[in-house]
Every structure is written in C-alpha cells, then in structure tokens.
A and B are shown apart, each in its own frame.
Chain A
Amino acid sequence: QQQVKQSPQSLIVQKGGISIINCAYENTAFDYFPWYQQFPGKGPALLIAIRPDVSEKKEGRFTISFNKSAKQFSLHIMDSQPGDSATYFCAASSETSGSRLTFGEGTQLTVNP
C-alpha cells in the first residue's frame, strides 16, 4: 500500500515533443506529490509538486495532472528539449509519514535533438 508505481522505465522523445510520465499509488492518505529531476552524477532536485485539492499544476513547460479518484498523477513536459534529458522520479507522502517520501522507480528520459 505504500508503493508508488512509475512508468515507463525509459522514454525517448524528439525535440519539441511531449514527454509523459505516469505514477499510480494505493495509499489514500498520501497528500503531497512531488516530482524530482536528476542529472547524471547529481542529486535529485525538486521540479514541481502538487496537493490533491487541485487537478493540475503548471510551471513553465512542466505540468502535473492529478486524478484523485483513479489515484494517479502524471508529469507532462511540453516542447521537450535535449537539456531535459534526465531521470525523473515521482514521489508521495502523507502527514502521518512525518514527511518521509515514497519514491517511484524512476524514468530515464532522453530527448533527441
């Protein structure tokens, strides 16, 4: 019940295309859903996050879509660029977990020029 399932494991997109990464969860107590971006040899960095009181959040080219009834959320990267090539992790946490995050398995995104 604590798992967060992420797909796909890897994704190749052409420059200018839309990258979509999906995550699903079971624990209905989860109330915070961040996405992290990790470049090779670096630590993950917070990219964008959403709470379940909204269905969508947009920051620049990055959008989180959230479907509370389906217990799914996704990251959309519009106009994907080669500089977006990185590993992306979704995560979830609840107030009862004391801020401890449960991470998805990660998606390796490659944007071809």
Chain B
Amino acid sequence: DGGITQSPKYLFRKEGQNVTLSCEQNLNHDAMYWYRQDPGQGLRLIYYSQIVNDFQKGDIAEGYSVSREKKESFPLTVTSAQKNPTAFYLCASSSPRQTNYGYTFGSGTRLTVV
C-alpha cells in the first residue's frame, strides 16, 4: 500500500540535543511538507520541498533544518536552537500533477523534551 511513514511515533529529547524525525513516502509525490501542531492548535508549516535538492522555509522554520536528497525522504532535524520543541510533528506529501492535489499525511511523531 502506498503511504507516508513517520518514525518514531514517540521521541524524547534532552535539553541541548538535536533529534531527527524520519518521513518516507512511496506515493511518488514530488512535494513534501513538515507541520507542527501544538495541543488544540492548528497546523503550522515548518519547511516544504517541491523537488529533490530544494526546499523552502515555512512560517516557523527557526530552530529546524531539513534535507531532500531523495524524492522519497524528507527528514526533519529539531536543533537545540528550537527553544520549545515539544509538539506533534506531521509530515505530508502531494503531487501537483494529480487532478486533486490534496495532501497525504503521515501518522505523526510526538516529540517531548525531558
């Protein structure tokens, strides 16, 4: 089955550590996105990539970094510069070539600072 896989489902980070969240898709989608969701809040765009080896900052990119070396993969690194990283992180993908270019979301990674 095609879809998006995010791992791990739960992640704990100590103060000052960098952590990397994995996002893999086998939908052959060109575009991939990272969103942050805080409790009871909406979706805030961190980074997005529309083609391999290219990505753009979203609305809250500070303290985060990404790479897009392969079409299937779009890992997100939460750096120590991100002062409040505890949140639910969602990865999504889409293809502008589809007739209805909605997003397919992964099941999310819940990051907690301990």
Q: Write the residues of chain A forming the contact surface with B, with a CB cutoff of 8 angstroms.
A: 32, 34, 36, 41-46, 49, 89, 91, 93, 95, 98-101, 103-106, 108
Which residues from 16 to 44 on chain B have a C-beta closer than 8 Å to any C-beta of chain A? 31, 33, 40-43
A43 touches B107 (CB 8 A): yes
A93 touches B101 (CB 8 A): yes
Q: Interface residues of B, CB < 8 Å — how many?
A: 27
Closest A residue to B95 by CB, please name it: A99
Q: Write the residues of chain B forming the contact surface with A, with a CB cutoff of 8 angstroms.
A: 4, 6, 31, 33, 40-43, 48, 50, 88, 90, 92, 94-96, 98, 100-108, 110
Closest B residue to A93 by CB, please name it: B101
Closest B residue to A47 by CB, please name it: B102
**Chain B hits for A41, CB < 8 A:** 88, 108, 110
Q: A49-B102, A98-B31 are in contact. Are A42 and B48 (CB under 8 A)?
A: no
Please measure, in the bound complex, the distance between the C-alpha atom of A43 and the C-alpha atom of B93, giving whole angstroms.
Answer: 12
B95 touches A89 (CB 8 A): no
A49 touches B100 (CB 8 A): yes
Least CB distance, B39 to chain A, in whole angstroms:
10
Please measure, in the bound complex, the distance between the C-alpha atom of A99 and the C-alpha atom of B94, giving whole angstroms.
Answer: 7
**Chain B hits for A99, CB < 8 A:** 31, 94-96, 98, 101
B40 touches A101 (CB 8 A): no
In the complex, the 6 A-B pairs of residues with the closest C-beta atoms, listed nearest first: A43-B105, A99-B101, A99-B96, A105-B42, A99-B94, A106-B42
A43 touches B42 (CB 8 A): no
A104 touches B40 (CB 8 A): no
Please measure, in the bound complex, the distance between the C-alpha atom of A99 and the C-alpha atom of B42, giving whole angstroms.
Answer: 19
